[in-house]
């Protein structure tokens, strides 16, 4: 799948891109009509007030305690820095497709194309974007930068992820999130694309890693990418089937109706807990069904961001 070609053919993003282009001027942040905008200025330290300076930033609470005048110094407002993280484990290549397009995507295809669209929007705003791709190893890492050459480097990495055979082992997402959290030196908007398939113990470790990112003041957005018909509803015909775990190699023979009800109950509880954990730690949770319209999913998210901008 040629991501550059698909991005240009994606309908529905033009209006948002025009809004960003009209408001953006160089590296100035504060694009209140864009779904993505620079982070506000942050308090850095106090300094002694000198007569003749503006009284705007005097810390009057500190004055009440010390009887001395100090002003608050702030770090300059910055342009947005964004880091995209993509789970490229074997389960993300479900369902197996010989050819992908905007109308037919598997999980890794959706993740890569959505990332390419986000990159395209941020490129128009001259924002810095980085990318991490992992499976059972770190496949690709690039820090946040702007520029045409860097943009094409990231697109190439996304295409490599989509075109991989998907025969890799499972992954421990939390391991790589901790590493990425240590690499991100400045406050960033972090997107994680994953199907969240892990054991209960790994789920706890995953949220510890997400908290690591939040502790470092990053904004975290979790795109939970699934094939809802099969992975949520277990919508397989009731004929004898052999199911393979693409990450562990385990297999089992069964009739789908024998476990469908228990499976759906377990998944429902899992989703409920997942959403509660995200809300608890102020992680934006975006459920994605790859069988639904790509433009509608992504544009709905951008519109919601735009309302908050």
Domains for the chain: give ranges and CATH numbers: 3-17+81-308 (3.40.50.410), 43-74 (no CATH)
Strands 43-48 and 70-74: antiparallel
Spatial separation of the C-alpha atoms in residues 141 and 301, rounded to whole Å = 26
Q: Distance (Å, rounded) from C-alpha 121 to C-alpha 191?
A: 14
pLDDT at position 171: 74
Residue 152 CA to chain centroid, in angstroms? 19
pLDDT in 10s for each residue of the chain, 309 residues? 666 666 555 543 333 233 223 333 332 333 345 566 655 445 556 777 777 777 777 888 888 888 888 787 655 445 789 999 999 998 899 888 888 777 888 999 899 888 888 888 888 778 899 999 998 889 999 999 999 899 889 988 998 898 887 555 667 888 999 999 999 988 899 999 999 887 666 778 888 998 899 888 899 999 999 988 776 666 666 776 676 666 666 677 676 676 777 777 888 888 888 899 899 989 999 999 999 988 888 888 877 887 765
CA 171 to chain centre: 17
Do 203 and 71 contact (CB within 8 A), yes or no? no
**H helix or E strand, kind and range, residue 45:** strand 43-48
CB-hemisphere CA count at 13 Å for 110?
30
Q: State how far the Cα of 173 lies from the Cα of 195, in Å rounded to an integer.
A: 10
CA distance 50 to 59: 13
Distance CA(132)–CA(142), nearest Å, equals 7
**Both tokens of residue 306?**
């735009």
Q: CB pairs under 8 A, 24+ apart, for 135-141?
A: 135/87, 135/88, 135/89, 135/90, 135/168, 135/169, 135/171, 136/89, 136/168, 136/169, 136/170, 136/171, 138/176, 138/179, 139/88, 141/180, 141/183
End-to-end CA distance of the chain: 33
pTM: 0.75
CB 184 within 8 A of CB 216: yes
Calpha distance 209→194 (Å, rounded): 14
């Amino acid at each position: 799948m040629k991501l550059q070609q698909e991005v240009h053919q994606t309908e529905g993003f033009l209006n948002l891109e025009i809004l960003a282009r009209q408001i953006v001027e160089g590296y100035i942040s504060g694009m209140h009509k864009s779904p993505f905008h620079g982070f506000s200025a942050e308090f850095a330290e106090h300094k002694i007030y000198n007569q003749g300076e503006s009284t705007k930033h005097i810390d009057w609470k500190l004055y009440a305690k010390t009887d001395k005048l100090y002003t608050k110094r702030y770090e300059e407002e910055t342009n947005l820095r964004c880091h995209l993280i993509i789970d490229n484990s074997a389960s993300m290549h479900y369902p197996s497709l010989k050819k992908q397009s905007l109308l037919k995507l598997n999980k890794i295809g959706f993740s890569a194309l959505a990332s390419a669209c986000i990159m395209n929007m941020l490129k128009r705003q001259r924002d810095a974007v980085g990318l991490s791709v992992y499976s059972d190893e770190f496949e690709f890492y690039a820090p946040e930068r702007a520029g045409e050459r860097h943009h094409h480097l990231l697109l190439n990495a996304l295409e490599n992820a989509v075109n991989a055979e998907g025969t890799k082992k499972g992954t421990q997402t939390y391991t790589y999130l901790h590493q990425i959290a240590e690499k991100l030196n400045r406050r960033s908007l972090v997107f994680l694309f994953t199907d969240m398939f892990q054991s209960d113990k790994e789920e706890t470790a995953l949220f510890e890693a997400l908290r690591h990112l939040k502790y470092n003041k990053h904004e975290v957005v979790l795109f939970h990418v699934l094939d809802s018909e099969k992975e949520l509803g277990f919508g397989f015909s009731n004929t004898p089937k052999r199911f393979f775990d693409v990450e562990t190699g385990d297999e089992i023979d069964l009739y789908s109706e024998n476990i469908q009800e228990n499976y759906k109950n377990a998944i429902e509880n899992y989703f409920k807990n997942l959403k509660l954990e995200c809300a608890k730690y102020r992680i934006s949770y975006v459920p994605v069904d790859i069988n639904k319209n790509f433009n509608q999913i992504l544009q709905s998210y951008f519109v919601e961001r735009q309302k908050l901008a």
